């Protein structure tokens, strides 16, 4: 690792000020960033650790929204009775991220800001139509994800919370790459209160997380595993690596969507 200054403010405004410095970088749980730093793929001059800011942590229900603080760990979400009652799919998702130690450090804000194409959380944010709240503004999930490791966050902008509309039903079906435990292809399926269905897919797209309109339309009209059969999922735009071809991933999108429908039926 290159050397850097380390600062761990307990106040968000202090952190935001520190992030205005040249070469400053925010640190969430560090479960991605620390390995990146070890490989010398990043060289911040100052690391601003957000883990000491209590106001970024916590889970609360506000009307028809579930609000999760940006610094809330995956483990805290997985263990939350409020989350289990409101959005059980988020418990399924967070309890399958990495391993227990990773879940005890990794945060929702860090995962969304990093937007790894095989990370679990982006699929839930997209499928549920989440609102990403930062120290500056609110961003709709549909506008937030901008391709591989890219988001609409500005320099120094910090995710303070994520607001999830509470759906009628939700589930996360993960097909994991067994060595990395990232998603090879996973589907977050949400049946919204108005009856519409949203399908978020992670791990499959060459440009990262995406919603599949064809599946959403078919399932909104007829919520059944059979409806998935009639949808064509193209291999075009799917990623290709030593673990899976685009065709394999395209097939998995349908398989995992079917499993999701069956889990909710």
Nearer to another protein, 100 or 237 (CB): 100
Nearer to another protein, 52 or 88 (CB): 52
Query: Residue 105's closest CA among 74, 80, 68, 59?
Result: 74
In angstroms, give the least distance from the CB of 107 to another protein.
13
Residue 4 touches another protein, criterion: CB under 8 A: yes
Residues 166 and 133: their CA atoms lie apart, in Å, by 16
Residues 208 and 213: their CA atoms lie apart, in Å, by 15
CA distance to 104, 120, 139, 179, 250, per residue, from 152 (Å): 27, 19, 8, 30, 27
In angstroms, give the least distance from the CB of 115 to another protein.
20
| DSSP-derived secondary structure letter, 54 | G
In angstroms, give the least distance from the CB of 22 to another protein.
16
Query: E strand or H helix at 244, and its extent?
Result: none
In angstroms, give the least distance from the CB of 87 to another protein.
22
Which listed residue (41, 81, 99, 195) binds another protein by CB under 8 A? 99
Which listed residue (102, 148, 235, 264) binds another protein by CB under 8 A? 102
Nearer to another protein, 88 or 98 (CB): 98
CA end-to-end distance (rounded Å), the chain: 50
Residues 124 and 202: their CA atoms lie apart, in Å, by 9
Nearer to another protein, 44 or 246 (CB): 44
Residue 104 touches another protein, criterion: CB under 8 A: yes
Residues 22-81 that bind another protein (CB under 8 A): 27, 30-31, 34-35, 37-38, 47, 49, 51-52, 75
Strand ranges in the chain using DSSP code E only, listed in sequence order? 5-7, 24-27, 46-49, 59-62, 65-69, 131-134, 138-140, 159-165, 169-176, 183-191, 197-202, 210-211
In angstroms, give the least distance from the CB of 38 to another protein.
7
Residue 265 touches another protein, criterion: CB under 8 A: no
Nearer to another protein, 74 or 211 (CB): 74
Binding-site ranges for another protein (CB under 8 A): 1-6, 8, 27, 30-31, 34-35, 37-38, 47, 49, 51-52, 75, 98-102, 104-105, 181
């Amino acid at each position: 690792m290159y050397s850097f200054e380390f600062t761990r403010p307990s106040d968000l405004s202090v952190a935001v000020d520190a992030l205005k410095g040249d070469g400053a970088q925010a640190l969430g749980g560090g479960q991605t960033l620390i390995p990146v730093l070890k490989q010398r793929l990043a060289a911040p001059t100052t690391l601003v650790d957000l883990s000491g800011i209590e106001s970024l942590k916590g889970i609360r229900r506000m009307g028809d929204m579930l609000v999760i603080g940006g610094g809330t760990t995956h483990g805290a979400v997985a263990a939350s009775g409020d989350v289990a009652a409101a959005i059980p799919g988020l418990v399924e998702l967070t309890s399958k991220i990495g391993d227990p130690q990773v879940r005890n450090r990794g945060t929702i804000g860090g995962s969304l800001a990093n937007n790894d194409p095989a990370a679990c959380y982006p699929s839930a944010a997209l499928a549920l139509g989440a609102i990403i709240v930062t120290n500056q503004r609110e961003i709709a999930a549909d506008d937030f994800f901008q391709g591989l490791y890219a988001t609409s966050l500005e320099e120094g902008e910090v995710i303070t919370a994520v607001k999830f509309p509470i759906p009628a039903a939700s589930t996360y079906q993960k097909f994991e790459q067994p060595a990395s435990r990232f998603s090879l292809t996973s589907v977050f399926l949400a049946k919204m209160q108005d009856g519409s269905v949203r399908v978020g897919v992670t791990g499959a797209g060459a440009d990262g997380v995406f919603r599949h309109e064809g599946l959403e339309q078919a399932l909104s009209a007829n919520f059944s595993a059979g409806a998935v059969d009639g949808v064509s999922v193209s291999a075009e735009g799917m990623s290709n690596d030593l673990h899976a071809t685009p065709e394999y991933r395209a097939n998995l999108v349908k398989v995992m969507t079917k499993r999701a429908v069956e889990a909710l039926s």
